[in-house]
Amino acid sequence: MDILSSDFFERPTLKVAQQLIGTQLVYEHPSGERIAGRIVETEAYTQDDPACHGWGLLDSETGELNHDGRAADLFGAPGTAYVYLIYGMYWLLNVVTEPEGVGGAVLIRAVEPLQGAEHMAERRPVSSGHVNLTNGPGKLTQAFDIDEQVHGTDLTTPPLYFAAPSDEHTYEVATSSRIGITKGVERPWRFFIEDHPYVSPGVPSDRR
DNA sequence: ACGAGGATGCTCT
DNA sequence: GAGCATCCTCGTG
């Protein structure tokens, strides 16, 4: 398996989001566990996107980054982890895209367990069925034990990285609007494998 | 099967 | 003080 390099991420965010579908997320956990999953759902966020944390952070006159919060890290090096807390409870994993100085990231929304499912289950509520291990952005970070400690780390090298499977299998990638947002709703920037059992049960904002 | 409501903490206004 | 890139539990049918 080839580890995806910084070149992969230093490209338009939409392209990265689409091409991450079918690749593997691998975590060589500090405890020695090896945890891996196939990515089946992503979302793209760009600096000119009102739903993105990086929106409106550039000074309109100078173009300089005018922010000292965590969102500034969206403008960092491609391939860096951007992890943040949502609803006070769940960590969401993103990978920074585009050249340094351009704000963008891809949210990893769902994966299919490939290795270490028993370790994932240890961190998830006992009542969760197998599908519920990793079929949502907050669930997969819990299963992988990803939290604030991962924020800012380099995802193009172990322990946490993306890998392209050696087989050349390609997936039909479907699109929809993004889940759970109230701004930028019309942009069809969610990418997923249609009918895959591990795609999150969330409903796109343009469907019911 | 599905929907409502609650948990819980950080960021920005 | 509001809003938030979510998930779980507990109602009802």
Measured in angstroms, what separates residue A61's CA from nucleotide C6's C1'? 37
3-state secondary structure chain A: CEECCHHHHCCCHHHHHHHHCCCEEEEECCCCCEEEEEEEEEEEEECCCCCCCCCCCECCCCCCECCCCHHHHHHCCCCEEEEEEECCCEEEEEEECCCCCCCEEEEEEEEEEEECHHHHHHHCCCCCCHHHHCCCHHHHHHHHCCCHHHCCCECEECCEEEEECCCCCCCCEEEECCCCCCCCCCCCCEEEECCCCCCCCCCCCCCC
Nucleotide nearest to A89 (CA to C1'): B8
* Mean pLDDT rounded to a whole number for chain A: 94
Could you say which residues 45-84 of protein chain A have a Cβ atom less than 7 A away from any atom in strand B?
67, 69-71
Q: How confident is the model at residue A208 (pLDDT cuts 50, 70, 90)?
A: very low
Nucleotide nearest to A90 (CA to C1'): C6
Rounded to two decimals, the pTM is: 0.95
pLDDT in tens, A9-21: 999 999 999 999 9
Nucleotide nearest to A53 (CA to C1'): C5
pLDDT in tens, A85-137: 999 999 999 999 999 999 999 999 999 999 999 999 999 987 677 899 999 99
